[in-house]
Amino acid sequence: MKEPQIIQYQRVTSTNDVAKMLLRNQCSEETLITAEEQTHGRGRHQRRWFSAKGLGLYMSLIYKPVQMEAYSAFALFPACAVSRAVKNLSGIQLKLKWPNDIMYDGNKVGGILIESVFKQTHPLGLVVGMGLNLYHQNEDLTRLPQKSVSLSSFSKQKIDKNALMTEIVHQMQSYYSRGRLCIDPDRICREWNQLCCHLFKSVTISTHTETYTAIFKGIRRDGGAILDKQGQEIIIYSGECSLSEMSACF
Amino acid sequence: MHVQKIRELVKLVHEFDIGEIQVKSWWGKKVTIKKNGSLRVDKRPVSAPNTAPVVLEPEQPSVAPESKPVPPPEKVREEDEKLIKINSPMVGTYYSSPAPDADPYINEGDKISPGKVLCIIEAMKLMNEIEAEISGRIEKILVENSQPVEYNQPLFLVKPD
């Protein structure tokens, strides 16, 4: 398999910031950016991602897909790749929450932020940012708005950060390599749905215009979420999903 | 869609005696070719592809002779012809700022230059930053924050330098 170019930092604002800057400057595909600490680690809509020094895994990968179909697949498989990597190294089965949260036992362990850059109509490529709580103590995480947990708190064995990064990169390459998807998008979609912790459960969806409850019926290959909203099937592509009290994410 | 691509599709229709073929691109553009009929380029965006899309470069849409052009919004038609429209490259949700409580990337009257981030379009869980390719001044912002936008929908009017 192709070995990615690796750029390691001690401290950055966000590995995605660096990755986007490199993307604009024509870096090679599958470049990996890692950091020990992020001063402005973030999720969607600039929500802060707690990125203290040495406590988490903070990394971004740069891609320049040739197939446009791959762009939609990127919305799904990075989370599957992280789940697979953690399972392979520790035996722990992580679950996924739409759109891009990585969960364990109802608590958030990590998240994925995918950003792309367009020169008006022309895509330059995309960056896949990954953040995982690894060695946080519970008191580090109690300040966060969402119930969070770190891998070390429920893993019987010590998680080696570098080994996990390497495994994530290898898993990513099993889905996508050299500008092309390696797995059929329908298969990726099935895998995501199998890992989803709220499949066929009641969820609360918040968009900028409304909040409602619905039954989450899975995702489609284009990343759209299929919902049953009061008996009517709808597809949504953006919004926030939270679990109702009765639908804890196990 | 490139003329060459359309030629290839027409050839396919004749070779395999296909009555009608419809191709959707990832960007929401649809081309229908009927045997013994006319070529139709439907530029209405679909909400998102639900079938395997044909891989196409995100080129400027071609306009076939029989195609029915999508009328531009009233505001655009009234504008000075020298203004340049910047259109949405995809179906998605338009965000004027990086975060709900942050300042917008641009305001009307702002100068822009190549590389300046103009907005974010969220599509399929990807946050897509749209950068300017031209220098000029933002004359008009045609969309509201958090508004759904369609493929090729005008977002900004720019007076070029």
A213 and A141 co-located in one domain:
no
| Chain A interface mutation, best of B90, B124, B130, highest count of A Cβ atoms under 10 Å | B124
CATH number of the domain that residue A212 is part of: 2.30.30.100
Residue A118's domain comprises 6-195
**What is the predicted pLDDT for the residue at A7?**
94
| Chain B interface mutation, best of A227, A237, A240, A241, highest count of B Cβ atoms under 10 Å | A237
> Cβ contact (<8 Å) for A120 and B130?
yes
DSSP chain A: -PPPPEEEEEEES-HHHHHHHHHHTTPPTT-EEEEEEETT-B-GGG-B----TTTEEEEEEEE--SSHHHHHHHTTHHHHHHHHHHHHHH----EEETTTEEEETTEEEEEEEEEEEEETTEEEEEEEEEEEE-S--HHHHTTSSS-B--GGGT-SSPPPHHHHHHHHHHHHHHHEETTEESS-HHHHHHHHHHHBTTTTSEEEEE-SS-EEEEEEEEE-TTSPEEEEETTEEEEESS-EEEE-GGG---
Distance separating the N- and C-terminal Cα atoms of chain B: 30
> Does residue B47 sit at the A interface (CB-CB below 8 Å)?
yes
Residue A148 counted as domain residue? yes
Instruction: Decide which of A66 and B141 is more confident.
Output: B141
A187 and A217 co-located in one domain:
no
| DSSP element (H, E) containing B82 | none
Instruction: Decide which of A130 and A144 is more confident.
Output: A130
Task: Give per-residue pLDDT as tens, A57-94.
Answer: 999 999 998 877 788 899 899 999 999 999 999 999 99
Q: Considering the domain B80-160 in this protein, what is its CATH number? A: 2.40.50.100
Percent of chain A at pLDDT > 70 equals 96
**Which residue of B56, B89, B127 is in closest CB contact with A115?**
B127
User: Is 60 exceeded by the pLDDT of residue B79?
Assistant: no
Label the pairing between strands A6-12 and A32-38.
parallel
> Does residue B128 sit at the A interface (CB-CB below 8 Å)?
yes
Residue A141 counted as domain residue? yes
Task: Give per-residue pLDDT as tens, B29-52.
Answer: 566 666 654 444 444 333 333 333
CATH number of the domain that residue A149 is part of: 3.30.930.10
Region B96-123: mean pLDDT is 92
Contact list in B for residue A113 (CB cut-off 8 A) is 127
Question: A155 falls in which pLDDT band (50, 70, 90)?
Answer: confident
**Which residue of A47, A113, A222 is in closest CB contact with B48?**
A222
Contact in structure between A153 and A140 (CB atoms under 8 Å): no
**What is the predicted pLDDT for the residue at B31?**
64
**What is the predicted pLDDT for the residue at B47?**
38
Distance CA A25, CA A33 (A): 15
A33 and A128 co-located in one domain:
yes
User: Is 60 exceeded by the pLDDT of residue A106?
Assistant: yes
A134 and A238 co-located in one domain:
no
Letter for the amino acid at A62? I
> Does residue B82 sit at the A interface (CB-CB below 8 Å)?
no
Query: In this structure, is the dihedral angle defined by the CA atoms of residues A191, A197, A203 and A209, taken in order, positive or negative?
Result: negative
**Tokens standing for residue B85:** 């429209």
A145 and A92 co-located in one domain:
yes
User: Is 80 exceeded by the pLDDT of residue A102?
Assistant: yes
Region A167-178: mean pLDDT is 94
Distance CA A220, CA A188 (A): 10
**Which residue, chain included where needed, has tokens 């929450």?**
A97
> Does residue B88 sit at the A interface (CB-CB below 8 Å)?
no
DSSP secondary structure code for residue B132 in this structure: -
Residue A150 counted as domain residue? yes
Nearest to B155 by CA among B124, B123, B132: B132
- Provide the domain count of chain A: 2
**Which residue, chain included where needed, has tokens 């103590």?**
A137
| Chain B interface mutation, best of A17, A117, A121, highest count of B Cβ atoms under 10 Å | A121
A180 and A111 co-located in one domain:
yes
User: Is 70 exceeded by the pLDDT of residue A1?
Assistant: no
A136 and A211 co-located in one domain:
no
User: What's the ipTM?
Assistant: 0.77
A170 and A239 co-located in one domain:
no
Percent of chain B at pLDDT > 90 equals 34
Q: What are phi and psi of B70, to 5 degrees?
A: -75, 120
**Which residue of B99, B131, B133 is in closest CB contact with A46?**
B99
**Taking the domains of chain B in order of start, what are their residue ranges?**
3-42, 80-160
A46 and A170 co-located in one domain:
yes
A240 and A185 co-located in one domain:
no
> Does residue A240 sit at the B interface (CB-CB below 8 Å)?
no
Residue A1 counted as domain residue? no
A222 and A178 co-located in one domain:
no
Nearest to B82 by CA among B151, B136, B154, B130: B136
Task: Give per-residue pLDDT as tens, A3-60.
Answer: 778 999 999 999 999 999 999 887 888 899 999 999 988 887 778 888 888 899 999 9
Give whole-number Cα distances, A158 to A139, A162, A211, B150, in Å.
19, 12, 41, 48
**What is the predicted pLDDT for the residue at A163?**
95
Contact in structure between B99 and A45 (CB atoms under 8 Å): yes
A126 and A182 co-located in one domain:
yes
Question: B64 falls in which pLDDT band (50, 70, 90)?
Answer: very low
User: Is 80 exceeded by the pLDDT of residue B4?
Assistant: no
